[in-house]
């Protein structure tokens, strides 16, 4: 059993590295957050992390040969769960947008338009959106018009 736990450790480390790289790239693309919507973030973290933390405490309390390897995996799993974006997370920043795991700079958007209190854009050919309060739209429109003027959608809501 200890051998199986040891084999799993590199996978958990790789998952943590992948999440950290994705977060760094998203932060670089999005810039300073203007508006975000992270539905059920607290519930996601509660459901994913509390059981792992309880199992971690139990493994450390019971001790034994497997407790250290089990504790490492549970701690890494909880950290990955805490840091991972949700698939429906939406962030609009000063230099780009993020939807779930995917982040784009404004200049890299396939197509965009401001509608209501959202910035709508194409991601992999499909329209999606991030929240953008009306009071911030003038500032973001100026940036979009400067870095990606030809991709503004002609479609009007």
Task: Locate the domains of the chain by residue range.
Answer: 2-30+41-83, 90-151
pLDDT digits (tens, 9 = 90+) for 82-129: 899 999 999 999 999 999 999 999 999 999 999 889 999 999 999 999
CA distance 63 to 58: 9
Predicted pLDDT of residue 90: 96
pLDDT, averaged across the chain: 89
Supply the pLDDT for residue 50: 85
Query: Coil, strand, or helix at residue 111?
Result: coil
**Coil, helix or strand at residue 83:** helix
Q: What is the pLDDT of residue 124?
A: 94
pTM: 0.81
| Measured distance CA(148)–CA(122) in Å, rounded | 13
pLDDT at 5 over 70: no
Statement: residue 157 has pLDDT above 60: no
Say whether pLDDT at 2 is over 80: no
pLDDT value at 30 more than 90: yes
* Percent with pLDDT over 90 in the chain: 61
């Amino acid at each position: 059993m200890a051998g199986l736990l040891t084999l799993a450790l590199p996978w958990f480390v790789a998952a943590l590295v992948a999440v950290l790289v994705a977060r760094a790239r998203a932060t670089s693309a999005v810039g300073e957050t203007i508006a975000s919507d992270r539905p059920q973030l607290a519930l996601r973290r509660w459901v994913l992390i509390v059981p792992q933390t309880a199992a971690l405490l139990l493994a450390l309390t019971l001790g034994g040969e497997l407790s250290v390897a089990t504790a490492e995996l549970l701690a890494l799993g909880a950290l990955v769960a805490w840091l991972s974006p949700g698939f429906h997370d939406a962030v609009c920043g000063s230099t780009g947008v993020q939807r779930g795991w995917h982040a784009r700079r404004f200049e890299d958007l396939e197509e965009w338009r401001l509608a209501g209190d959202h910035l709508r854009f194409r991601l992999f050919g499909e329209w999606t959106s991030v929240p953008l309060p009306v009071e911030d739209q003038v500032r973001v429109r100026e940036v979009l018009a400067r870095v990606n003027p030809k991709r503004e959608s002609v479609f009007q809501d």
